[in-house]
Amino acid sequence: MSITDVNTAFAAEKTAQVEAVREQERALQARVNRGEVRMIGADRYEVLTGWDRGETFTVSRNTEGQIEQIIANHGLDEQADGTISLYASSPAWHGLGQIIPGGTTDIDEVLRLSGLDFEVTTVPALYEWQGETREHADQQHTVRSDTGAALGAVGSRYTPIQNRAGFVFLQELVSRYDVVWESAGLLRGGKRVFISIRLPEAVTVDADGINDIVVPYIAVMNDHSGNGQFQCVVTPWRPVCANTERFAVRDAVTRWAVRHTAGATSQIKEARRTLGLSSQYFERFADEETALARTDIAIADFHQVIADLWPLDEDASNRKRTNHATRLDALDDIFRTESERVGRTAYAAERAITGYLDHVTPRRPPQSMTEEIARATAVLEGADDEIKTKAHRRLLQLRTR
């Protein structure tokens, strides 16, 4: 039987990666040669494969130029006293944060240990004109009430969803399921915060085949920058860093989101009702993924699904035909890798399509964003949900042929 807790697997792979690079220079070069990592600056690298795909790290060298230390960029904030803004019920891959072995059910303690015990207020957006300070009537700024740090520029109707008010609704689930708070933390100076609990029952995908046991979590992410929604997801990931926070949203079984408006806090009660069905969501998820795992497909079937998702007109330009061929090659490569792990099945095809959308498909960022930030934003806001859902339904149809 294969038990896949993605959090344990992630920690194991991250630890192995760090130790391998520390051992010798050629280990790093070998990973570069295999296309697993790439250099993005002076002694800075980005991971291209595995659980930590998208993560970056910095290599520190001694006076002789030899690798002395590898510094993983976990993306978590540091509090005024030097502690990392993370609470967890068990150590994360990076070994940082405030750990309560076995966890706690006290939300106030969780907020304090993670640095989430602050509120967000709004202040007028001001500008100078010919020596006079003026106020922008349609815009304001979000500011941390504890430090005064600016978090983002928002519209006049924006109303902050406070951390405690946004997270406390999960307390009922903590009591009902007799579970603990799993993790909580801050990213990007408090612009983004997260908290999670673990559901009591795991689910199995294809018990007689690949037999993957998925451990479900409910994670809540709140954005104070004006660039994202308050959202809840049911997911196999426990967020413990910037990367796993992205994964939690990317691999969500179901999600619920609300914009920051005056009535948002009352609407969060709807999330409680929706997420109360999370066990049923995971059971349905397991049934459908099992069906995909038991559906063998030929490469022609995979190509037909791709053609349905990204149709190419007969009179398409040469540029569009080139882009189409490039996409097909990338998807074939990912499908080949997934097939080696779980067989040439519809399950492997779905993972290939999802992986392509999250990590390969080009993003055209606004001038104020790098492509990396634009890609992360697209994942967090569910920009590709529609096409992922279409792919899932299309692949499920292959069962009935």
Tell me if 128 is assigned to some domain.
Answer: no
Range of the domain at 353: 295-400
Residues 228 and 102 in one domain: yes
Local confidence pLDDT in tens for the 401 residues of the chain: 555 576 776 677 667 665 654 555 677 777 788 877 787 777 777 777 654 555 666 777 766 666 666 555 556 777 777 788 888 888 765 567 888 888 898 999 999 998 999 999 999 999 899 999 999 989 999 999 988 999 999 998 899 999 998 888 788 778 777 788 888 888 778 888 888 887 777 777 787 887 776 667 788 888 999 888 888 877 665 444 444 444 444 455 566 778 888 888 777 777 666 665 555 666 777 788 889 989 999 999 999 999 999 998 888 899 889 989 999 998 999 999 889 888 899 989 988 888 787 666 654 544 433 444 444 444 444 456 678 878 888 998 987 65
What is the model's pLDDT at position 189? 81
Q: How crowded is residue 341: how many other Cβ atoms within 10 Å of its Cβ?
A: 10
Residues 220 and 314 in one domain: no
Distance of alpha carbon 396 from alpha carbon 293, whole angstroms: 10
What is the model's pLDDT at position 88? 86
Using the structure block, give the residue that is written with the tokens 């983004």.
192
Residues 92 and 199 in one domain: yes
Tell me if 211 is assigned to some domain.
Answer: yes
Tell me if 152 is assigned to some domain.
Answer: no
Tell me if 332 is assigned to some domain.
Answer: yes
What is the model's pLDDT at position 196? 85
The greatest distance separating any two alpha carbons of the chain, rounded to the nearest whole angstrom, comes to: 74
Tell me if 29 is assigned to some domain.
Answer: yes
Residues 246 and 328 in one domain: no
Using the structure block, give the residue that is written with the tokens 């990317």.
250
3-state secondary structure of 238: coil
Residues 266 and 325 in one domain: no
Distance between first and last Cα of the chain = 30
pTM confidence score: 0.60
Q: How crowded is residue 19: how many other Cβ atoms within 10 Å of its Cβ?
A: 11
Residues 223 and 108 in one domain: yes
Residues 94 and 195 in one domain: yes
Tokens matching residue 30: 């070998």
Residues 112 and 251 in one domain: yes
User: Per 3-state DSSP, what percentage of the chain is helix, strand, and coil (rounded to 5)?
Assistant: 40, 25, 35
For residue 150, the number of C-alpha atoms closer than 13 Å in the C-beta half-sphere is 8
Residues with Cβ < 8 Å from 47, sequence gap 6 or more?
17, 36, 37, 53, 54, 55, 56, 57
What is the model's pLDDT at position 342? 83
Residues 322 and 260 in one domain: no
Last residue of a domain, one of 278, 307, 325: 278
Distance of alpha carbon 292 from alpha carbon 290, whole angstroms: 5
Number of domains into which the chain is organized: 3
Distance of alpha carbon 258 from alpha carbon 228, whole angstroms: 9
Tell me if 177 is assigned to some domain.
Answer: yes
Residues 112 and 216 in one domain: yes
- Helices of type H across 135-238: 163-167, 171-177
Residues 184 and 238 in one domain: yes
Judge contact between 97 and 88, C-beta under 8 A: yes
Q: Which burial class, exposed, middle or buried, applies to 46 when counting CB atoms under 10 A from its CB (0-12, 13-18, 19+)?
A: middle
Residues 208 and 264 in one domain: yes
